[in-house]
Amino acid sequence: MEKIRKRDGRIVAFDSAKITLAIQKVILAVREKNGDLARKISRQVVEALEDKFKDRIPGVEDVQDIVEEILIRNGCAKVAKAYILYRQKRTEVREAKKLLGVEKDELKLSVNAIRVLERRYLLKDEEGNIIETPAGMVKRMAKAVASVDKKYGGDVKKTEEKFYRMMAGLEFLPNTPTLMNAGTDLGQLSACFVLPVEDSLKDIFGALTNMSLVHQSGGGTGFSFSKLRPRGDVVKSTKGVASGPVSFMRIFDQATEVIKQGGKRRGANMGILRADHPDIIEFITSKQKEGFLDNFNISVGVTDEFMKAVEDDREYDLINPRTRKAMGKLRAKDVFDLIVTMAWRSGDPGLVFLDEINRKHPIAHVGTIESTNPCGEVPLLPYESCNLGSINLSRMVKDSEIDWEKLRKTVIAGVHFLDNVIDANRYPLKEIDKITKDNRKIGLGVMGLAEMFAKLKIPYDSKDAIETAEKVMEFIRDESVKKSVELGEKRGSFPNFKSSMWEKDYKAMRNATVNTVAPTGTISIIANTSSGIEPIFALSFVRNVMGTQLL
């Protein structure tokens, strides 16, 4: 037996090892003793095929029919039943994909993944008909991002193939805008942006316009509203009174609501207000009203001074950002308790430790960080953007052990990919283009941690899990830095490298930051794994993604 016909009509080389592996998986699934049974059944299947298909090429279904017959003939009723049920389930999956408009799925994705791709990612014509397959989407990304290698004298075809294999194998996936926009006319590939909001009507509505452009292209935005004068403060030009930052946040929220109606991706914002802003109580309690600021995550920007006041149980000053003068005092512990209470009730606000972030910022000489991206994992300077990608840790396990060499290769390819994205990107604003290329921040992270633990037979809530996670993340960080140093030596360091923290230990560094851990909400669905570093919170649940119900 030399050839076999695939379901899509392609004729490929026959490989009996695939039959053996499939039988072995079913035997293990029903906890039967294996021994040499899988190979024995496989040999009999091949003999039956050679006898039945002497003058013609069998199809995949023909092979599977004979596997069923041989299993039953050998008295393996339990294994045969499991195999039949597996075939039925795979048939249902294929039919579901056809109903969703995907006739050809070389990546063997889950139905949920296909639903998400069909709704948001696969390219469509003007009538809304899907015009690319999931594999076509991956090829589109790989080609667009790999093309950057030409600029640096690299082998574009080799890089394209490497990127394709990595993503087609669901070992790594980039953030949503790269999936949607790579290789298209829009070409905006970053997920995370921070935009400044200054204390004038012109600047506030300028930031609103900039937010709209970022959201339209699939990005999310973070803001600090701490520079806006408090409610009731004087407005010199009109002799009126200011309405305060929370009222302006409502305008940003409503604009996001309108833009997301026609978009591929739900608009998302982070709103931050310093703990010493006079309107901090209104801000902390703002989301207790249902439907208010639905398109915002909010966080209180806390300083060392505030946290020390909480520890010492004393009052602290509220500072008017316009005059820089104290406007009153609050008991720090009362404010902290209110933050905790509101977070328990509504999930907001979070805490952003501003002084600590700026202490650890590798390029503190460039500017002060005031905000993060919508989910809080990427602190950024004003106008800065960052592109993210995540390694699927569940695919880094082989024979119940971590495949460190595969993980190392995936990290190296992931850093290469994300650095290329910076050059392949078309930024919505010239200010974003400049500072992003000056700092070249990337965020390589992970997803599938909980599934990896399951494959390693490690309880998620165990000491062993913590130690394993630390070992994995340290390995990823070290390999990421090595690759960024190598790229810095070959392609040049990021322009603001001089006087950065990296300059103390390295002669070159391509990226100001290399790692972060993102929630990976949608890309983990595509990869059919657990989200980010989160536990698997239920065996079965319903989730809504842009109006698409997923099981």
Non-local CB neighbours of 334 within 8 Å, separated by 6+ positions? none
Which CATH code fits 196-372? 3.20.70.20
Which CATH code fits 139-189+386-539? 3.20.70.20
In this structure, the number of other CB atoms found within 10 A of the CB of residue 97 comes to 21
Q: What is the pLDDT of residue 263?
A: 60
Q: What is the pLDDT of residue 348?
A: 95
Task: Decide which of 82 and 380 is more confident.
Answer: 380
Task: Note whether 446 and 388 are within 8 A (CB).
Answer: no
Once rounded to an integer, what is the mean pLDDT over residues 508-533? 95
Once rounded to an integer, what is the mean pLDDT over residues 279-308? 95
Does residue 280 surpass a pLDDT of 90? yes
- Domain boundaries in the chain? 3-87, 139-189+386-539, 196-372
Confidence band, pLDDT 50/70/90 cuts, at residue 261:
very low
Confidence band, pLDDT 50/70/90 cuts, at residue 35:
low
Task: Decide which of 5 and 206 is more confident.
Answer: 206
Does residue 167 surpass a pLDDT of 70? yes
Which residues pair with residue 545 across a beta bridge?
548
Strand ranges for 411-450 from DSSP E: 442-447
Is 373 noted as a catalytic residue in this protein? yes
Distance between CA atoms of 522 and 508, rounded to whole angstroms? 35
Confidence band, pLDDT 50/70/90 cuts, at residue 19:
confident
Q: State whether the Cα torsion 287-293-297-303 is positive or negative.
A: negative
| 340 backbone dihedrals φ, ψ, rounded to 5° | -65, -45
269, 295, 297, 373: which is the annotated catalytic residue?
373
Give the burial class of 10: count Cβ atoms within 10 A of its Cβ; 0-12 exposed, 13-18 middle, 19 or more buried. Answer: exposed
377, 431, 486, 489: which is the annotated catalytic residue?
377
Q: Distances in Å between the alpha carbon of 481 and those of 414, 499, 519, 551?
A: 12, 18, 22, 38
Note the pTM of the prediction, 2 decimals.
Answer: 0.86
Does residue 535 surpass a pLDDT of 90? yes
Once rounded to an integer, what is the mean pLDDT over residues 522-540? 89
Distance between CA atoms of 309 and 316, rounded to whole angstroms? 7
| 246 backbone dihedrals φ, ψ, rounded to 5° | -65, -40
Distance between CA atoms of 122 and 133, rounded to whole angstroms? 7
Q: What is the pLDDT of residue 97?
A: 67
76, 175, 269, 375: which is the annotated catalytic residue?
375
Confidence band, pLDDT 50/70/90 cuts, at residue 548:
low
- The per-residue pLDDT for range 396-454, each reduced to its tens digit, is 999 889 999 999 999 999 999 999 999 999 999 999 999 999 999 999 999 999 999 99
Is 2 noted as a catalytic residue in this protein? no
Task: Decide which of 142 and 547 is more confident.
Answer: 142
Q: What is the pLDDT of residue 264?
A: 62
Say whether 196-372 and 139-189+386-539 share the same fold.
yes
Mean pLDDT in the chain? 91
- The per-residue pLDDT for range 54-97, each reduced to its tens digit, is 888 988 888 889 988 988 988 888 888 888 888 887 777 777 66
Once rounded to an integer, what is the mean pLDDT over residues 100-123? 77
Helix 60-73 to helix 77-99 angle (10° resolution) is 160
Is 95 noted as a catalytic residue in this protein? no
